[in-house]
């Protein structure tokens, strides 16, 4: 990205307090020559003077209550009431624990409660984490477990997550030590042999879990600076992970079969469902009964499973829920496409049956809410291709057949402006008309 803003000496402007460039903040206020402060530092200074935060930037007085966190999540995430309650309580307790540890010297040890989010693709695991990141005043990062391997092998290692957390905290070690890390796709790191110990070295599965175990339970990790290669004698950043809250997420395909087997069901009865709807209902009910023993049998090592005491399961979204996803959240898909057509002076109208057809198509794809954008793009591409060239269209109505039968939408044309030629008629008195004219 090109940087254009600079001072009279040709150097780019920075905030004298946090050191960020003008492009990285909202506004810079300049005092005496060469001294500036950004809007973020001004807000932080006001909060510090009012006693809302301390020197480390940690929230003290204005803790977001669980109901406030959940209400914010409700604005972006549809359904998943139980999971949102669990996350809200966990985040609130994390804030409260930080505040208590800083203000009291107690012999009672307050332990963190790491969380496991389990749900199929498109149920909202990552969206929940992304939404949480918007409201938290502690460093928060979202990491993907898929590319991670055991230290010493090709690929990233668990230190990468700690690097990301330090970057989010502007390399403030104290703030990073109280941050939150969301680790997605943990199920991809399950033991290749399930609960049985493998005779070969599993560097991308069990090895990663054991590396995660070290930072989850709490240790002083040596993190090398971002952008520098590891070499002997390098200066490391020492980060205490004891107070970092970990939230894990994963689809855990096949976990419901393990749970059903534990309940003594057989493939000819409980597991054999004829319709996809019944299977979704069955899987949702089974996931609610998941235990740590099921996770261990799936391939999560017992040591790591024991340090994730809270398990929250996410329900598969039905047609009604997906329709709400399309229309209710802030910046929902329907609102976005309406805004796109509004720029061309056209009103977009989606009928209720059309919305339900879109939702059903996403369910048939097996991608849940994540597939809604793909379905919507497929429906809207021709509309958005033609509309800019049609000046007289004022409204575009999408019916159910547009989704199910690829029928063209109804386009309402505006009143065409026709040029009227006025003919002047001269009135002649009757007495002046000649006899031939009469």
> For 247-273, how does the pLDDT look when each residue is reduced to its tens digit (9 = 90+)?
999 989 889 889 888 877 544 444 444
d(CA 347, CA 335): 11
pTM: 0.70
Higher per-residue pLDDT: 13 or 69: 69
At 434 the pLDDT is: 47
Using the structure block, give the residue that is written with the tokens 């490391």.
236
At 23 the pLDDT is: 63
The residues, ordered by sequence, that sit 6+ positions from 232 with a Cβ below 8 Å of its Cβ are none
> Is residue 5 predicted with pLDDT exceeding 60?
no
- Residue 53, beta-bridge partner list: 59
DSSP state of 21: B
Q: Mutual orientation of helices 319-327 and 352-365 as an angle, nearest 10°?
A: 120
Higher per-residue pLDDT: 282 or 356: 356
Q: Is 353 exposed, middle or buried (0-12, 13-18, 19+ CB in 10 A)?
A: middle
**pLDDT tens by residue, 39-77:** 777 776 765 555 444 444 444 456 788 999 999 999 888
**pLDDT tens by residue, 183-229:** 998 998 887 655 555 555 555 678 888 889 989 988 888 887 765 55
At 101 the pLDDT is: 66
- Report residue 10's pLDDT band, with 50, 70 and 90 as the boundaries: very low
Closest CA to 244 of 214, 210, 212, 216: 216
d(CA 419, CA 4): 51
Q: Is 389 exposed, middle or buried (0-12, 13-18, 19+ CB in 10 A)?
A: exposed
Closest CA to 298 of 191, 201, 185, 198: 191
Higher per-residue pLDDT: 419 or 221: 221
At 243 the pLDDT is: 86
Q: Which fold has domain 66-316?
A: Rossmann fold (3.40.50)
C-alpha distances out from residue 404 to 166, 252, 317, 337, Å: 49, 32, 20, 19
CA 63 to chain centre: 22
Query: Does the domain made of 320-413 have the CATH classification 1.10.8.60?
Result: yes
d(CA 21, CA 151): 35
- Same fold: 66-316 with 320-413: no
The tokens for 144 are 């993907």
**Residue boundaries of the structural domains of the chain:** 9-50, 66-316, 320-413
DSSP state of 318: -
At 425 the pLDDT is: 44
């Amino acid at each position: 990205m090109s940087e254009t803003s600079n001072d009279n000496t040709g150097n780019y402007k920075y905030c004298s307090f946090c050191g960020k460039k003008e492009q990285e903040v909202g506004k810079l206020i300049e005092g005496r020559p060469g001294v500036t402060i950004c809007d973020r530092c001004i807000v932080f200074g006001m909060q510090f003077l009012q006693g809302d935060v301390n020197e480390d930037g940690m929230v003290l007085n204005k803790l977001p209550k669980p109901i406030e966190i959940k209400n914010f999540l409700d604005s972006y995430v549809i359904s998943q009431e139980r999971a949102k309650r669990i996350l809200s309580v966990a985040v609130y307790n994390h804030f409260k624990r930080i505040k208590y540890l800083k203000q009291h010297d107690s012999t009672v040890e307050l332990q963190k409660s790491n969380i496991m989010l389990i749900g199929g693709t498109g149920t909202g695991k990552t969206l929940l984490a992304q939404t949480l990141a918007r409201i938290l005043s502690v460093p928060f990062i979202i990491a993907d477990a898929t590319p991670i391997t055991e230290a010493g092998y090709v690929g990233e290692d668990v230190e990468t997550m700690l690097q990301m957390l330090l970057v989010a905290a502007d390399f403030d070690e104290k703030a990073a030590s109280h941050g939150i890390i969301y680790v997605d796709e943990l199920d991809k790191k399950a033991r290749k042999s399930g609960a049985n110990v493998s005779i070969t070295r599993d560097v991308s599965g069990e090895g990663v879990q054991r590396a995660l175990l070290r930072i989850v339970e709490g240790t002083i990790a040596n993190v090398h600076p971002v952008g520098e290669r590891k070499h002997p004698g390098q200066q490391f950043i020492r980060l205490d992970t004891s107070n970092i809250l970990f939230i894990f997420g994963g689809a855990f395909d096949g976990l419901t079969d393990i749970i059903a087997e534990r309940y003594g069901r057989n493939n000819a009865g409980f597991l054999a469902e004829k319709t996809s709807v019944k299977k979704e209902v069955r899987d949702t009910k089974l996931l609610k009964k998941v235990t740590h023993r099921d996770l261990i049998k799936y391939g999560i090592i017992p040591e790591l499973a024991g340090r994730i005491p809270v398990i929250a399961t996410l329900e598969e979204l039905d047609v009604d829920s997906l329709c709400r996803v399309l229309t209710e959240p802030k910046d929902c898909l329907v609102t976005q496409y309406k805004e796109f057509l509004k720029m061309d002076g056209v009103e977009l109208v989606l009928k209720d049956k059309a919305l339900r057809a879109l939702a059903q198509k996403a369910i048939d794809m097996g991608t849940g809410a994540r597939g809604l954008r793909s379905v919507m793009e497929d429906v809207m591409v021709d509309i958005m291709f033609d509309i800019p060239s049609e000046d007289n269209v004022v409204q575009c109505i999408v019916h159910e057949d547009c989704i199910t039968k690829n029928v063209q939408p109804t386009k309402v044309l505006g009143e065409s402006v026709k040029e009227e030629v006025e003919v002047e008629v001269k009135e002649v008195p009757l007495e002046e008309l000649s006899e031939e004219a009469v």
